[in-house]
Structure 1
Amino acid sequence: MQEYLPISINDVIEIANREGIYPGYTVYLPKMKEAVYTLSVFSPKAQDEATIHIDQYSGAVLADYRYDHYGLMGIVIAWGITLHKGTQFGWVNQAISLLICLGIILVALSGFYLWLKRRPGKGIGAPSAPSIKKLKGFLILMIALGIVFPLVGLSILVVWLIDGLIIQKIPQSKAF
């Protein structure tokens, strides 16, 4: 019975270089005689992601999964991760993410400030609602955002239904 010897880690690195794997990959060593070397890289750009499996004895590439092989959801997820991490477009990506974060902080602070200006007396209740005629632009914006972001739209719809069907029917809730 012939015993086969596994290839060296240096051979695995040479194969990775030959296959053009983005630097910074992780090498998973085979733990059983039938297992393979697995190289996996999640690079700063979605297009450079790869996972390959290498036979531990012959060095043959058994499977090569790259960005080009992803389906639509794989592409969306890969882009979402690199955009979220701020690595896909470098400093431009990070600057846009910073502006989004600052915008969220501004919305939270301005909401609190506007509530302070409009609150009833010295209480903690909600300010009186403005006339619906003044809110046409706001309603159009909310509908558009609800279409673009369906979960936001669904949550707005649920709150509107709870308010209209339950809270407005209970006199004690209006007093608070």
Structure 2
Amino acid sequence: MDGIIEIAFPAEEGAAWTVTEMRESWKLANDAISVNDETGEVVDRVDHADWPLAAKLSAWLIQLHMGTLFGWINQLVLGAIALGLLIIILGYRMWWLRGRNGRPGRLQAAGQWRRTRPGVLTGIIVFLLAYMVMAPMFGISLVAFLIIDAVIQALRRR
């Protein structure tokens, strides 16, 4: 074990101490051991190499998402992604606030959806459904947004 470690006291008397390598920038493997508090011998060892692939990917994705996997470079990329999302949101806001006649894709431009290739529209829908399964909060907020939008449009038509 090397780098920063965390030592946890045993939960009850006679139980083993645990020593775990902490997550650090540019470190992809974190091992852990359990040590008998009386004899000092290692009673259990969990090597990162022995983790299932799904567990490794999950740990790496969490570190990547938090901006700790690749240090400042990771944080710079996440900042650029956030800026891009902000630009998309502001663009959508401008589109939303445009004119009294509604937004594109509504009544006056309904024919646009018919001109869209069915494969492209199907691909977008499949991607959104798959992403909604992986990111449930995205799915919940998207469905809530679509319901609120439908209610607002119904009230405007009255």
Q: What residue identity is the alignment partner of 1:127?
A: R
Give the alignment partner of residue 63 of structure 2, picking from 82, 87, 93.
Answer: 82
* Unpaired stretches in structure 2, ≥5 consecutive residues: none
Aligned counterpart, 1:101: 82
3-state SS of paired residue (2:44): strand
Alignment check: 8 A CA contact 2:6 2:22 kept: no
Aligned counterpart, 1:35: 15
Q: How much identity, in percent, do the aligned residues show?
A: 21
* Unpaired stretches in structure 1, ≥5 consecutive residues: 1-20
Aligned counterpart, 1:5: none
- The answer as to 2:51 corresponding to 1:70 is yes
Q: How do 1:1-176 residues align onto structure 2 when only pairs under 5 Å count?
A: 21-30=1-10, 32-44=12-24, 45=26, 47-117=28-98, 119-120=99-100, 126-127=102-103, 129=106, 130=109, 131=111, 132-136=113-117, 139=121, 142-143=124-125, 145-146=127-128, 149-151=131-133, 155=139, 173=155, 175=157
Give the number of aligned pairs.
Answer: 143
Q: 1:146 to 1:172 in 2, by over 3 A?
A: closer
Q: 1:172 to 1:57 in 2, by over 3 A?
A: closer
Residue by residue over 1:118-175, the C-alpha shift from the partner in whole angstroms, topping out at 9 and shown as x without a partner, is x325xxxx425222244438625513633652538x959x95xx98xxx6xxx95571
Residue by residue over 1:88-108, the C-alpha shift from the partner in whole angstroms, topping out at 9 and shown as x without a partner, is 223332222112111111111
Per the normalisation by structure 2, the TM-score is: 0.69
Post-superposition shift, 1:71?
1.3
